[in-house]
Structure 1
């Protein structure tokens, strides 16, 4: 592992600012049902200070009750990609992080419809999850159409900054794959610049989607508005 990412587990992470929305338009009754009936079973214990005040590391394999490889999706949006991956690769487990509760409700509906059972949902900041994941516990990670924060003074809020990338590198296995998709050229520029120094090497940088890709609603919106998607793949060194 890179020295930059080979850090000691911190049982008392610093307080952080959170940027972005947690709630949107009023949920439909069915979505409220998904949240009340399904989220509790899918939400991993030990992520928040309320249920892990001493911040003990959380074994992701214990979340699923098996030793299958664990993948991570940061900001799953409406959940299309996460559920597609869970259905396409039933021999893996995938944890999704999303603080926007409307997106969580959409994901839960898709999980019901697809009948997948190899998923876990953290309805909060991905940094909180990475705080308690053990070193080298994640085999693959996804950052699909993240919030672009287009204003220059907000670029530090993007996920592709050391504040996020160094913890991600710590929890990823050597040789693990990190995929990034975006339709914002400046986000891709920052991704190319910031990810490799955190402990990754670039192994793909193209306008062609991955073979197992499913186009999400965010990508379809980008295409309708004339923005070209781009796909970058990194390997943990």
Structure 2
């Protein structure tokens, strides 16, 4: 993709996006979820076509003043719904540009009946633009796109373009969890995340070999295990 201007017509930064927005044709039920449920679960006014002011998201208004967490790229949404159900006193924003995953999540939200999560169906960098400084208390990056070719490593989340705004929106002492089954992604994570202002909390091998106590294994993890790849669970704290 070629960058053709510095800014979107709305005034937002113009960014290249490498990935898919949509996959196979949605089922009628999934189309209904998107039409009927998504707008009510929006975290705020983040419509780049009609909102040139890019009004900041008010954390106090997202989930009734609850402490706020963020999951970046929630896939099918099983972990996001699990955390919302286990932590009713917390509000969680899930960010996912792949609309098929958003539709899957909405179906799970209906089934689980949770009401303390919000969904942004787009590039997390846009969400970072409108989140206030130090407004997020915990963040999750679970099985992100590995971009395995060396020339594509700059597209990974664990680069300054993503980590610097993440550091800005996290509160001091906030936890940042990363799960991946790709050994080179682990290497890059352990190099870049501390440079961005985070401390790795591992004290021994079990701290990255064993999942967190409140972990729910995702379909991406199950696929990795079937294919013989080893999951890594990395926990950082924002300085």
Q: Aligning the two structures, in what range does the TM-score lie when normalised by the shorter sequence?
A: over 0.9
Instruction: Name the SS for the 1:235 alignment partner.
Output: strand
| TM-superposition CA deviations, 1:81-122 (whole Å, max 9, x none) | 000000000000000000000000000000011100001000
Higher relative contact order (CA 8 A, sep 6+): 1
- Structure-2 change in CA distance of 1:174 and 1:12 (3 Å): farther
Measure, in 1, the Cα distance between the counterparts of 2:60 and 2:179.
Answer: 27
Which TM-score applies when normalising by structure 2? 0.92
Provide the rounded CA distance (Å) in 1 between the counterparts of 2:21 and 2:48: 19
In the TM superposition, residue 223 of structure 1 has moved relative to its aligned partner by 0.3
Q: Is the 8 A contact 2:92 2:116 kept in 1?
A: yes
Distance 1:142 1:61 in 2: 20
Q: Choose from 154, 159, 163 the match for 2:161.
A: 163
Given that 1:101 and 1:123 are in contact with CA atoms closer than 8 Å, whether structure 2 keeps it comes out as yes
Once the two structures are superposed, residues 62-84 of structure 1 have per-residue CA deviations (whole angstroms, 9 ceiling, x without a partner) of: 122x2210000000000010000
Q: Which moved more, 1:70-79 or 1:23-32?
A: 23-32
How many residues in Structure 1 have an aligned counterpart in Structure 2?
226
| 1:211 corresponds to | 213
Q: CA deviation at 1:52?
A: 2.7
SS at match of 1:150: coil
For 1:38 and 1:121, how far apart are their aligned partners in 2? 10
The answer on 1:232 being equivalent to 2:234 is: yes
State how far apart, in whole Å, the 2-side matches of 1:126 and 1:88 are: 24
Shift in Å, 1:12: 5.2
Which structure 2 residue ranges, 5 or more long, are not aligned? Answer: 1-9
2:33–2:103: 8 Å Cα contact kept in structure 1?
A: yes
Is 1:63 aligned to residue 65 of structure 2? Answer: no
Separation in 1, partners of 2:96, 2:153:
19
The equivalent of 1:102 in structure 2 is 100
Structure 1 residue 50 displacement after superposition:
2.7
Q: Unpaired segments of 5 or more residues in structure 1? A: 1-10
2: CA distance between counterparts of 1:168 and 1:140?
A: 11
Question: Is residue 70–residue 93 contact of structure 1 (8 Å, CA) maintained in 2?
Answer: yes
Instruction: Tell me the residue number matched to 1:130.
Output: 128
- Counterpart CA distance in 2 for 1:38 and 1:56 is 22
What SS is found at the alignment partner of 1:209? coil
Task: Provide the rounded CA distance (Å) in 1 between the counterparts of 2:49 and 2:34.
Answer: 19
Contact 2:66 2:90 in 1 (8 A): yes
Secondary structure of 1:210's aligned partner? coil
Secondary structure of 2:168's aligned partner: helix
Equivalence map 1:81-100=2 (5 Å): 81-100=79-98
Q: Distance in 1 between matches of 2:61 and 2:235?
A: 28
Root mean square deviation of aligned Cα: 1.2
Matched, 1:38 2:37: yes
